[in-house]
Chain A
Amino acid sequence: MIGVGKMKQYSNVLDRPLGKGKQEVSLSAFAFLFSELVQYNQTQVDNIAELERRLEDAGYAVGARVLELLCHRDKGNRRETRLLGILSFVHSTVWKVLFGKVADSLEKGTEHEDEYMISEKELLVNRFISIPKDMGTFNCGAFVAGIVRGVLDGAGFPAVVTAHFVPVEGQQRPRTTILIKFAEEVLRREARLG
């Protein structure tokens, strides 16, 4: 019957119109969910490295989808092919959609040509998290590192992405730095493109 009820049913998810992405949920809903994600993964591992790897995997799956979604919606089905282009896509577009703001900073590593860093004074996922002493360097930012890796990998820029706490003088909470180390092939290609 035409015009009865909301026209919301589509037999196929691909037939559904792509939302504008302006919908919101409460921050606590996300925080509760994320906390369950971390707690569940804690029950599946025996060490911190494994826990970070699992959070990163979860993030990777999100990143891969975010890339696809944003390329369709915001970039007219085009994706970046140059290193700086994709980095600024992550730092600006992706960050803005996911976290409501552009990331605090994007820097090139001083010691290594293949390293870049995205820093955030207070990363969303670390906001309600305090790391117990016995968990050492564990960083929930691993989830966001996974998102970044998912986006980069999907766009053809394989990289190793890790999250680290960096203490800031005069501030109680450290900032979170997402360290991106690109694969050799990426740099070779970039050099060739000139």
Chain B
Amino acid sequence: MPPVGPRSGDAIFANIERVNAELFTLTYGAVVRQLLTDLEEVEEVNKQLDQMGYNIGIRLIDEFLAKSNLSRCVDFKETAEVIAKIGFKMFLGVTASVTNWDTDGTCCSIVLEDNPLVDFVELPDTCQGLYYCNILSGVVRGALEMVSMKTEITWIRDMLRGDDAFELQVKLLKQVPEEYPYKDDE
């Protein structure tokens, strides 16, 4: 029988196949380096990383829903908690926290103290405008779009830039109403 109810991030992480984080980290580094060589402009690299993240997000959400056994979140607050507590744990093995809610509950920050993407990384002077982890914001944006939420995501803090944590601000722009019935091919 499948487990009933949502599963905790730790439980999922313990039960899935895992790989060494260093392989992941170094591979990501290779991706960023290729982009910097190909695209030259740091701004373009930020964009491309976000796009890659988005591509991942729209696919990753399926696995996330299948393995977490979650039902629909009642509000954006629950959504943010789920991303931080289950999503980050399940894929990256790290826990994130949610803070800095605005008054109407549509904007918050996800704070990461551990981030496997940045081990061994130091931003050189020529890359100061680079959002090294921009792939993560793309992932979150893509995944949320697949569950009908349009969001805007900005990096507020970045340890590579000397801050004390990674902080992603997630702002809910609008909930896209689901189109039903779906249009069949005429």
Show the binding face of A for B, using Cβ within 8 Å.
5-6, 8-9, 12-13, 19, 21, 23-30, 32-34, 36-37, 39-41, 44, 54, 57-59, 61-62, 65-66, 69, 97-100, 124
Contacts and interface: CB of A to CB of B under 8 A. Distances in A.
A40 B52 contact: yes
Contact of B17 (A8, A26, A59, A65): A26
A13 B120 contact: yes
A39 B59 CA distance: 14
Contact of A26 (B27, B48, B91, B119): B91
Given A36-B55, A66-B26, A19 B119 contact: yes
Given A28-B16, A58-B31, A61-B30, 9 more contacts: A6-B113, A8-B164, A25-B92, A26-B16, A26-B18, A37-B31, A40-B34, A59-B30, A69-B22
A54 B34 contact: yes
Dominant secondary structure of chain B at its interface with chain A = helix
Interface string B1-43: 0000000000001001111111110111111011100100000
A97 B60 CA distance: 26
Contacts of A21: 20-22
A33 B24 contact: yes
A40 B91 CA distance: 21
A100 B21 CA distance: 11
Nearest to B38: A44
Interface in B144-161: 159
B23 A98 contact: yes
B93 A32 contact: no
A37 B48 contact: no
Contacts of B122: 12-13
Contacts of A25: 18-19, 21, 24, 91-93, 116
Given A5-B164, A6-B113, A9-B159, A27 B16 contact: yes
A97 B25 CA distance: 13
A23 B27 contact: no
B88 to A, nearest CB: 10
Interface string B161-176: 0101000000000000
Contacts of B159: 8-9
A28 B120 contact: no
A71 to B, nearest CB: 14
14 contacts: A5-B164, A8-B113, A23-B21, A24-B18, A24-B19, A25-B116, A26-B90, A36-B56, A58-B34, A59-B30, A61-B30, A61-B33, A97-B23, A99-B23
B20 A40 contact: no
Contacts of B30: 37, 58-59, 61-62
Given A12-B122, A25-B91, A33-B28, A41 B116 contact: no
